[in-house]
Amino acid sequence: MPITVNLRHLEEHEIRLTGDLPLNELDLGVQDELIHLNHPLQYNLVVELLHDCVLARGSLLLPLDCECGRCLTKYRQDLKLPDWAVHLPLEGEEKVNVENDSIDLTPFVREDMLLEFPQHPLCKPDCSGLKKKQVSGPVAGAETPVADPWAALNQLKLK
pLDDT, tens digit, 9 for 90 and up, residues 42-65: 999 999 998 889 999 999 999 999
- Radius of gyration of the chain measured on its C-alpha atoms: 28
Neighbours of 13 (CB within 10 A): 8
Mean pLDDT of the chain: 87
Higher local confidence (pLDDT), 105 or 147: 105
Q: pLDDT (tens digit, 9 = 90+) per residue, 99-128?
A: 888 999 999 999 999 999 888 899 888 888
Contacts of 110 (CB under 8 A, 6+ apart): 26, 27, 28
- d(C-alpha 47, C-alpha 9), whole Å: 10
pLDDT at 17: 93
pLDDT at 79: 93
Domain ranges of the chain: 4-122
Band (15; pLDDT cuts 50, 70, 90): very high
Band (143; pLDDT cuts 50, 70, 90): low
Beta-bridge partner residues of 17? 45
- d(C-alpha 14, C-alpha 10), whole Å: 6
pLDDT at 142: 58
Helix ranges (DSSP H) in 27-159? 106-116, 151-154
pLDDT at 9: 87
Band (67; pLDDT cuts 50, 70, 90): very high
